[in-house]
Amino acid sequence: MNPKNCFTPFKSSIEDIKIPNKFTFPFYYDPHPIALLAASELQKRIETDIDWNHDFGLGQSISKLALGKMFGVLVVKNTTGELGYLSAFSGKLEGQNLDKIFVPYIYNRFSKKGHFFLETQQLDALNARIEAMETDPKLLAVKQQYLNKQKEISSILDIEKKQLKAASAERKSIRHTLQKQLSEEDYKQLHAAHKQQSINDTFYYKEYSAYLDSKLQKAKLEVQDMEQSIERLREQRKSTSIKLQHWLFDQYNFLNAKGEIKNVQTLFKTRIPNVPPSGSGDCAAPKLLQYAFQHQLKPIALAEFWWGKEPSSKVRKHKYFYPACRGKCEPILDFMMEGLNVDENPLLKNPGIGKKIKIVYEDEHLVVINKPAEFLSVPGKHVVDSVQERMLQRYPQATGPMIVHRLDMSTSGLMLIAKSKSVHKNLQQAFKHRSIKKRYVALLDGQVEGESGFIDLPLRLDIENRPFQMVCYKHGKACRTKWELVERKDNFTKVYFYPLSGRTHQLRMHAAHRDGLAAPIVGDDLYGLKKDRLYLHAESLSLEHPVTGQALEVRAEAEF
């Protein structure tokens, strides 16, 4: 492919835009103005320059197959010093003029003439053969005949067992009755005869059981023969799949800014699990950097945005910007960016510097504090400063963990702190039995209809993109939230949230997801648009004091 087809000069003037000194940290960023401009130009081309075969779900008629896609832009400088940008999409897309706009796949596993596609067809053929054999009416009939006969024989043998047991009990009763009437010699003879009869009965049962089992052998062997044929095909499928997967991994070799090359298997070797997830290397960011390094283009800034219908499991809003996924991309991008001057990871900075914790209520047993926004509840992987650390410093004589419950780092509001292990235990039990009532206030980005409602969306961690959560009805944990309208103003809605469960990012997901309120919390840097802060505040707690038994209600007004 001619590199000029992928390097796109800016149509708009960039004279007033200051070029960044450092490259974008791809896992948490605010898009640089020059990247925003590139994304805007690409979005116009997506709308006008391509005859798509893909349904993004943006039209009047939305099909069930409609699916949005992640797109990316990489602002680059060419060897002559000209600034422009590269464009890419994640995964697979079809349409005319794609090769004139988007950088190529690192390996095009979707090509119908390629080795991977042809081998996949063979696997599909194996799957079809296995499925056909597993559902073969002949196999199902033979299996059913075998099961029916097995059940019949089992029933016959159960009757035989009961009869043998009854006969044995009858002989025992006879011996008991005649023991005092017979001479010692006659009783011995009777006992010996009964013992021999028991041996005969046992022998008869075994022989009869073997005879009945022999009647099953023909059907049993027929079932086994057919199932062994299926198992051989399964083993062939497994072997072929593993061989093909290793072959595919060999095709994904990545460049970094220093000109070094590493294979995807090497990059994931130190990760858990140490096997690259499916689709590793097919996301927009690795494609963009690979093309830039291959064609001596210097990376300046990166941005990725969602285009199209929101998926059912995740929060992805049309034209919103999102970080690169960690599960598939982190090991790859970490290597590819070696040699680049990259922005510092903001997650390594202590967000609590200069922030103070306010005491709202205190007695000899517990404390209620008002946590500021962007402050950790407990120590993180890289930052120790947190509510827990500060409480331990403030109350060195306290026993137990102190922190009874957590708030997300970005959420402000009330937290319960226990001064003793026993109070901590009692408060945790109260949370477990839902006798502690919490109310949050949130400002949502959008107009929410209705006066109140109930949201029930089960959540689980998106393991390919931590710390994002996703809706999952199969493996997700139950999450339930009540909400009430406070006010509507302009294009914003203020609501009260009453969480009936306490899952990670529950209120943020329930607000933003299309099956929740479909209106992200203002300032949500994960599921909405970043602002000065997350507009979510835990404003009230109601509980029975764990020692005095008196009702305790604490309130802290939100700053918004």
Express each pLDDT in 245-286 by its tens digit. Answer: 999 999 999 999 999 999 999 999 988 778 899 899 999 999
Average pLDDT, the chain: 93
Query: What CA–CA distance (Å, rounded) separates 377 from 391?
Result: 10
With tokens 């047991």, the residue in question is 165
Both tokens of residue 100? 């004139």
Query: What CA–CA distance (Å, rounded) separates 185 from 389?
Result: 91
Q: Do 244 and 259 have their domain in common? A: no
Please indicate, yes or no, if residue 529 is contained in any of the structural domains. yes
pLDDT value at position 539? 97
pLDDT of 347 over the 90 cut = no
Decide if 462 is catalytic. Answer: no
Please indicate, yes or no, if residue 515 is contained in any of the structural domains. yes
Q: Which of 248, 266, 290 is the last residue of a domain?
A: 248
Please indicate, yes or no, if residue 362 is contained in any of the structural domains. yes
300 alpha-carbon distance from chain centroid: 32
- Please, are residues 119 and 76 in contact by the beta-carbon 8 Å criterion? no
DSSP string, 400-469: S--B-S---TT-EEEEEEESSHHHHHHHHHHHHTT-SEEEEEEEEESPPPSSEEEEE--EEE-TTSTT-E
Q: Which of 291, 324, 345 is the last residue of a domain?
A: 345
Q: What is the pTM of this model?
A: 0.82
DSSP string, 514-534: TTTTS-PBTT-TTTS---SS-
Selected residue with higher pLDDT from 324 and 272: 324
Q: Do 522 and 404 have their domain in common? A: yes
DSSP secondary structure code for residue 321 in this structure: B
Both tokens of residue 394? 């403030």
pLDDT value at position 142? 86
pLDDT value at position 4? 52
Q: Do 308 and 394 have their domain in common? A: no
Please indicate, yes or no, if residue 453 is contained in any of the structural domains. yes
Q: Do 51 and 99 have their domain in common? A: yes
Q: Do 385 and 507 have their domain in common? A: yes
Please choose, from the candidates 307, 286, 303, the residue with its C-alpha nearest in 3D space to the C-alpha of residue 67.
307
pLDDT value at position 180? 86
For 217, the enclosing helix (H) or strand (E) is: helix 184-251
Query: What CA–CA distance (Å, rounded) separates 119 from 344?
Result: 43
Q: Is 141 left (phi over 0), alpha (psi -120 to 50) or beta?
A: alpha
Q: Do 312 and 372 have their domain in common? A: no
pLDDT of 237 over the 50 cut = yes
DSSP string, 160-205: HHHHHHHHHHHHHHHHHHHTTTS-HHHHHHHHHHHHHHHHHHHHHH
Cα first-last separation, the chain? 53
Query: What CA–CA distance (Å, rounded) separates 360 from 369?
Result: 5
pLDDT of 2 over the 60 cut = no
CA distances from 13 to 34, 41, 59 (A): 10, 12, 32
Q: Do 428 and 493 have their domain in common? A: yes
Q: Do 64 and 99 have their domain in common? A: yes
Please choose, from the candidates 256, 245, 250, 334, the residue with its C-alpha nearest in 3D space to the C-alpha of residue 290.
256
Q: Do 336 and 366 have their domain in common? A: no
CA distances from 225 to 130, 220, 228 (A): 14, 9, 5
Q: Do 482 and 375 have their domain in common? A: yes
Print the domain residue range for 304.
3-106+253-345
Please indicate, yes or no, if residue 446 is contained in any of the structural domains. yes
Q: Do 538 and 396 have their domain in common? A: yes
Q: Do 100 and 63 have their domain in common? A: yes
Q: Cα-flanking dihedrals φ and ψ of residue 264, to 5°?
A: -60, -35
Residue 329 CB-density burial (10 A; 0-12 exposed, 13-18 middle, 19+ buried): buried
Of 49, 136, 225, 408, catalytic: 408
Please indicate, yes or no, if residue 118 is contained in any of the structural domains. no
To the nearest 10°, the Cα dihedral for 552, 557, 558, 560? Answer: 160
Selected residue with higher pLDDT from 558 and 381: 558
- Please, are residues 543 and 436 in contact by the beta-carbon 8 Å criterion? yes
Q: Residue 537: CA atoms inside 13 Å, Cβ hemisphere, count?
A: 18
Please indicate, yes or no, if residue 114 is contained in any of the structural domains. no
Q: What total number of domains does the chain contain?
A: 3
Query: What CA–CA distance (Å, rounded) separates 243 from 277?
Result: 16
Dihedral sign, Cα of residue 104, residue 110, residue 113, residue 118: positive
252 alpha-carbon distance from chain centroid: 24
In this prediction, residue 62 has a pLDDT band, given cuts at 50, 70 and 90, of low
Query: What CA–CA distance (Å, rounded) separates 322 from 524?
Result: 12
pLDDT of 359 over the 70 cut = yes
pLDDT value at position 1? 41
- The percent of residues above 90 in pLDDT, for the chain, comes to 82
Please indicate, yes or no, if residue 115 is contained in any of the structural domains. no
Both tokens of residue 325? 């996924």
